[in-house]
Chains A and B, each alone.
Chain A
């Protein structure tokens, strides 16, 4: 298993540009999520999904869109990039069938470092 993969690893955008951060998992997990991490801070939840066709907002959803057309993929779209969106973005997944057990854990991807100029 590759686990959770993210592309690209690094990206530089100009203000106003749009782009999509890709996230894929091969563990057949129902739950997927996107976080952003700013320097010296913890992770903040942007959006999450509990299955194909079902998404919901997290703590900081403004400026980001998501969709979930398959179990494996959960792309994050920046419609019009702003310098405030400069951050490291992490995608994560977990199995909902394990919820309420001691094996309920999220698996994180390696992250995408985004700079908006």
Chain B
């Protein structure tokens, strides 16, 4: 599986846009990029997933450059409830089964 690198922590004020970048230099052709969110004492929750260019849903946007060696999760106008750990995962989701491993994630602290 492709190794990912994310910042350990980030702080942001309420109402600001937050961008969290993940590096995955050895991403393979079949790999998708998936982001999860985890609140304290809860299991991770799927946020967004993409393969290339830009993906947007009601929660976030995911930007993936043409070389796919990095990706950026964008959270618009964060609130205190967005304080959580965010994980970037890269793995082949097609064909066969998948060993999914999580890195240490990025701890986002939203400040009032």
Contacts and interface: CB of A to CB of B under 8 A. Distances in A.
A99 B95 contact: yes
Q: Please indicate which of the listed interface residues A33, A90, A96, A100 has the most CB atoms of chain B within 10 Å of its own CB.
A: A100
A45 B104 contact: no
B43 A104 contact: no
A104 B100 contact: no
Interface stretch (A36-44, A65-73, A77-85): A36-44
Q: B interface, how many residues as a size bin?
A: 20 to 34
Interface in A59-108: 59, 90, 92, 96, 99-102, 104-108
A104 B105 contact: no
Q: A interface, how many residues as a size bin?
A: 20 to 34
B81 interface: no
B102 A90 contact: no
Contacts of B93: 99-101, 104
A8 interface: no
A42 B42 contact: no
A108 B99 contact: no
B41 A111 contact: yes
B94 A42 contact: no
Contacts of A114: none
Interface string B33-70: 01000000111111001110001000000000000000
A102 B49 contact: yes
Contact of A45 (B34, B43, B101): B101
Interface string B74-112: 000000000000010000011101111111110000000
B42 A31 contact: no
A64 to B, nearest CB: 15
Contact of B104 (A41, A48, A104, A109): A41
Given A99-B94, A102-B55, A42 B49 contact: no
A50 B32 CA distance: 19
